[in-house]
Amino acid sequence: MPRYLDLLPALATGKEEVFRLALEGKARPVMLINIAILGTLFGLSNLIGIIGQAGSEALTGRMLLLLFLLLILYGIFTMFAVLFGLTLIYWAAAKAFGGPGGLVLVLELVGLATLPFWLFAPLLNYAIRFRPENGAVMSILLVPLLLSFVWSSVLIKKSMVAGQGLSEGKATLAVACMWIFSVSAIYVFSP
């Protein structure tokens, strides 16, 4: 198996060889590294938001280190839970459009397609939870959020084509259904 850093360009572009790792049962280490990085970035977005609200003077010394570690662990567990939920939605969409499914296979395919979420999840978390007062900050966040959303859709579609054997058209419809369901679920459960 190639080294993780050697796989990054293929992970970022969604090359078929990356998704073939899941089909061969070799994707788990890469998936776990992706989830750990995603969770760490998610935790850092919480830390930045908390420091922005509380001020850096309130969080100094050991308290900052403890908060940093807790938020990183919280981020990793949260992102694993979110990706497991996305896995269930992906599995249902893949099965509905004729793919073989396979929950472990789908989890690995989702884990391989997480690079866009490294940007999307922390930025969306920061924008929703900490609601920056400055309208310019929100405007600046909007562009990378939209670009990472499109990027994630493209990678998930490629993972469905390579890992589930769906045609381009069926994979596009499955991804659209996934996003519609996900956004609807978020809307229902959000306060």
pLDDT in tens, 7-30: 999 999 999 999 999 999 899 999
Instruction: Please state the pTM of the whole predicted model.
Output: 0.88
**Of the candidates 23, 26, 38, 55, which has an alpha carbon nearest to the alpha carbon of residue 121?**
38
Its domain, for residue 37, covers: 4-189
Confidence of residue 127 (pLDDT cuts 50, 70, 90): confident
Q: How many domains does the chain have?
A: 1
79, 144 contact by CB (below 8 A): no
Where does the pLDDT of residue 101 fall: very low under 50, low under 70, confident under 90, or very high at 90 and above?
A: confident
